[in-house]
Amino acid sequence: HRSPLNDFQRLRATELAVPTEPLAVPTELPPLEWGSAEQCAQRCTASLTCRAFHHDRQSQLCQLLPWTQRSPHVRLQKNIHYDLYQKKDFLRDCIVGDGTSYRGTRATTEKGLRCQHWRATTPHDHSRFLPSRRNGLEENYCRNPDQDKRGPWCYTLDPGTRHQSCGIKKCEDAVCMTCNGECYRGTVDYTESGTECQRWDLQHPHKHPYHPDKYPDKGLDDNYCRNPDGSERPWCFTTDPGREREYCRIRPCKKRPRPLNVTTSCFRGKGEGYRGRVNVTVSGIPCQRWDAQTPHQHHFVPEKYPCKDLQENYCRNPDGSEAPWCFTTHPAIRIAFCFHIRRCPDELGAEDCYHGHGERYHGHVSKTRAGITCQPWADLTPHVPQISPVTHPKAHLEKNYCRNPDGDSHGPWCYTMDPRTPFDYCAIKPCSGSSVPSILENTDAVAFEQCGRRDERLQRKGR
């Protein structure tokens, strides 16, 4: 049940640029072949020279490549048509097991001695390990052709030291994890029992909800161990059909990180840094203590989540949910969000003020309340303006200053330099005492069309 893609690391919308220098390796590009990413991976694995491949998802074409991003003079570049798959062994800076499959470019020993080229016979003559198409003895890179349990080694350029281990770390030690490993982005791809992980972008052998596209901030790359759901440690779905998921063994970092964004009287973002003492749900139900397992059993045991401050029965967010939450003491209600905790204001402090609605504001503030720089009114990118110095010549639409050419009742605004945000209000507040007319009025004739009608029969029927 392992996918041939398990040996590869994927980079989306990326291609390897053809080596720009005259190189020993052939620079004519291999022909395009038809096939799915998995079929191309199979071919690349079977080939002695292939180290990577481009895959065009649209046309289902692929191109096997004899180099990787680590090869000399080769560079990565954007290409929305291709995904680049590279053999992990050529990219990893750590070793799996005894490192027999290591194909990285480390060329110094653990004591800092430069490695001798495998094809050289000075200063150390040897005939046991000469480069061949199969054994990966390349350049003067550290390798482990004899399954030495200390891992990859090399002959050294020091006449007094024939060979020496390179001291390359095991992957489970190379990148340590803090807290519960939510931010772990290392390259361990096997579980603590040694079972290989299933790729997150595959739904076999185990179907699962953690699509990398749905969880863009969880680092669900390839088949590496991750912690997208607030578990105790990084884990993965396994390639063993009989075992859905399993924890991975990752070295904990010695230092515990300082909690970010600690707040007590309000919560910011998803409230993962909320350390206040609200401990009742909105509907008045007391929260269950985190160190209790009744009425609701759970795995959020405080000592296993040292960074999450699961004290008492306070609302907390140990798993990246929408907001702080808690188990409730009501047997029928397992969890309740604590949305009634005030949200911390997340806007820039005002840098100026305006009178009325700011139609006559001619100040020089030129950024939005979120701190995004304003687009110059005369520019056409990133947003084609519907309001410009041409359409509103008397509105003083100078440079990229905040203005209120359309009498917006919420104050000066501007088009923004963020392609996703056409316009926003500015870091300017009404001047104190500026009398904004009480804008609540009664309007007599009110009429609506194409909205607000429903099939009242459904209402009477109820459900």
Per CB under 8 A, 453 contacts another protein: yes
Give the closest residue to 200 by CA, choosing from 175, 174, 227. Answer: 227
Question: Nearer Cβ to another protein, position 217 or 303?
Answer: 217
Name the region of 133 (left: φ>0; alpha: ψ -120 to 50; beta: rest). Answer: alpha
Identified binder of another protein from the candidate list 21, 28, 125, 217, rule CB under 8 A: 217
Per CB under 8 A, 463 contacts another protein: yes
Per CB under 8 A, 409 contacts another protein: yes
DSSP per-residue string spanning 105-157: ---B-TT-PBBPPTT--SSS--SSS---TTT---TT--B-TT--TT--EEEBS
Per CB under 8 A, 337 contacts another protein: yes
Length of the chain: 463
Q: Which stretch binds another protein (CB under 8 A): 36-44, 98-106, 148-156, 446-454?
A: 446-454
- Cβ of residue 335: shortest distance to another protein, in angstroms? 9
Give the closest residue to 360 by CA, choosing from 400, 428, 412, 399. Answer: 412
Per CB under 8 A, 339 contacts another protein: yes
Three-state SS letters, 186-219: CCCCECCCCCEECCCCCCCCCCCCCCCCCCCCCC
Identified binder of another protein from the candidate list 30, 167, 269, 295, rule CB under 8 A: 269
Residues 294-323 that bind another protein (CB under 8 A): 321-323
- Cβ of residue 392: shortest distance to another protein, in angstroms? 15
Identified binder of another protein from the candidate list 343, 362, 364, 399, rule CB under 8 A: 343
**Alpha-carbon distance 151 to 167, whole Å?**
7
**Alpha-carbon distance 153 to 372, whole Å?**
52
CA atoms within 13 A on the CB side of 392: 16
Identified binder of another protein from the candidate list 157, 336, 397, 402, rule CB under 8 A: 336
Q: Which stretch binds another protein (CB under 8 A): 97-105, 126-134, 257-265, 451-459?
A: 451-459
**Alpha-carbon distance 87 to 9, whole Å?**
6
Identified binder of another protein from the candidate list 58, 213, 254, 255, rule CB under 8 A: 213
Question: Nearer Cβ to another protein, position 394 or 420?
Answer: 420
Question: CA dist 249 to 176, 177, 193, 263, 311, Å?
Answer: 10, 10, 9, 32, 27
Per CB under 8 A, 334 contacts another protein: no
Contact call for residues 97 and 171 (beta carbons, < 8 A): no
Give the binding site for another protein (CB under 8 A): 209, 211, 213-217, 269-270, 281-284, 321-323, 332-333, 336-337, 339-340, 343, 345-347, 369-370, 383, 386, 406, 408-411, 418, 420-425, 438-443, 446-448, 450-455, 458-459, 462-463
